[in-house]
Amino acid sequence: MADTNLPSVETTHHEWDGIEELNTPLPRWWLWTFYATIIFALGYMVAYPAVPLLSTATAGMLNWSSRGQFAQEQAAAKAARAGTEQALASLPIEQIAADPRLMGAAVEGGRAAFKVNCVQCHGAGAAGSPGYPNLNDNDWLWGGDLRAIHTTLEHGIRHPGDEATRMSQMPAFGRDGILNAGQIADVVSHVRVIAGAEAPSRSAQRGAQLYADSCAACHGAEGKGDRALGAPNLTDAIWLYGGDRAALTQTVTNARYGVMPGWNRKLDAATLNMLAAYVHSLGGGE
């Protein structure tokens, strides 16, 4: 008797335990989609850079490149910022601060510039380290308003070759033979007492007279400092090089002459204004 259950699709002629595998053709839509992807790939290869050569690659009929597109986007962004950048470069920092839009742009631009030029010394969070001041607090040697910060950025501190640089020269009382070791110890005791770091003592009493004779001219009779001279406040327990006895003894004996570069020869006017705005915004600006 003839088998009336013949499959309508040819098999692969493989059989496993009576089970045969059909050789079902692929759906037409799938085949056409596959062919379309091949055509698209060939077209893409002709239109865009695709085929690597020895030292370069085919440019493609559209002459497109990711670097070229990036350059175009950069040019467009620069054109969009041109007005703001011109204002940041030409206006004094006080006028920039009076315009919320400009000040916002300055702070954000200064944030980026700080990461490139300043974090190496002041740290990513501007908290500083021994010898490098914390820019987040309100303790300023030469003032913390926008103009004072801008001047410090522009001319630096003890920056060689800049006559307008911030300059303070504390004598090296021990190295130069002005005070002996015992007198230096007494001065350190007095400084720590007025800073609230040490209880009054006979050493501090002796140091008070030495302080009045040798230190008060710059730091003031009460140790509050003098911004005109860059002399720090000795009573606020904020120390650039440390406030323990060893650190203060080293400071009085040999003095400290840290240097900050003046950025007026390395950064343009807009960047200086942006940095001043950013530093002022950190929380300690006056």
On whether 167 is known to bind a ligand per the annotation, the reply is: no
On whether 121 is known to bind a ligand per the annotation, the reply is: yes
On whether 280 is known to bind a ligand per the annotation, the reply is: no
Q: At which residue do the structure tokens 């200086």 appear?
A: 272
Q: What are phi and psi of 226, to 5 degrees?
A: -150, 110
On whether 274 is known to bind a ligand per the annotation, the reply is: no
**Which residue intervals of 48-99 are DSSP H helices?**
66-90, 93-97
SS3 245: helix
On whether 103 is known to bind a ligand per the annotation, the reply is: no
280, 140 Cβ separation under 8 angstroms: no
Q: E-assigned strands of 60-185? A: none
For 19, the enclosing helix (H) or strand (E) is strand 19-22
262, 156 Cβ separation under 8 angstroms: yes
On whether 150 is known to bind a ligand per the annotation, the reply is: no
Whole-number Å distance between alpha carbons of 231 and 39: 77
On whether 170 is known to bind a ligand per the annotation, the reply is: yes
Q: What is the dihedral of CA 70, 74, 76, 79, to 10 degrees?
A: -170
Cβ neighbours of residue 99 under 8 Å, at least 6 residues apart? Answer: 87
On whether 219 is known to bind a ligand per the annotation, the reply is: yes
Residues contributing to the annotated binding site = 118, 121-122, 170, 215, 218-219, 260
Residues contributing to the annotated binding site for heme c = 118, 121-122, 170, 215, 218-219, 260
